[in-house]
Amino acid sequence: MDKLQSPESLLAEGIELICETPVADEYRSLRVAASLAPRSAEGAAIGLPNTLFGVTLRKEGKLIGMGRIVGDGGLAFQIVDIAIQPAYQGRGLGRIIVAELVEYLRKTAPAGAHISLFADGPAKHLYAQFGFEETTPASVGMSLPNRASS
């Protein structure tokens, strides 16, 4: 496994960290490549413009990593869509993305705002490094499945 990277070493490798939201097609492609659930073109077209804050990692213009914050901008914020191209995983790039997102939240989220995320598998260890805590058993994350109709 490659060693973890610092933000400074990204530049040496030609990887750019950009505060932006990816366009729908590249967003959808990266989610699938990173083994996240696919999202519809319609959903991406509607949802991505409503991103509060987004971060991408690009190499030679190609999207290799991303993360977003969604919410109402005052009461509730959620970190979503942390994804890294498989060839770049395991090098600390997810940590760099989360650090940028958390920095944004520390600067902009009002005191008492609810900040949340869903952690899949061992990703909870990454998020714990930034102060996120498991909420069970006091509360449990739940979702309402929304399947496309045939």
Interval 14-50: pLDDT, tens: 899 999 999 999 999 999 999 999 999 999 999 999 9
pLDDT at 10: 72
Q: Nearest CA to 47 among 88, 81, 12?
A: 81
Please report, as a single letter, which amino acid is at residue 148.
A
pLDDT at 24: 98
Residue whose tokens read 């990887």: 15
Interval 65-108: pLDDT, tens: 999 999 999 999 999 999 999 999 999 999 999 999 999 999 99
> Is 88 annotated as catalytic?
no
- Domains along the sequence of the chain with CATH: 7-128 (3.40.630.30)
Q: How far apart are the first and last CA of the chain?
A: 43
pTM to 2 decimal places: 0.89
Check whether 130 has a pLDDT greater than 90: yes
pLDDT at 142: 85
Q: pLDDT band for 11, please (50, 70, 90 cuts).
A: low
* DSSP-assigned states of every residue in 111-148: TT-EEEE---TTHHHHHHTTT----TTT--------PP
Choose, from 27, 88, 104, 127, the residue flagged as catalytic: 127
Residue whose tokens read 């610092």: 6
Q: How far apart are CA 30 and CA 62, in angstroms?
A: 10
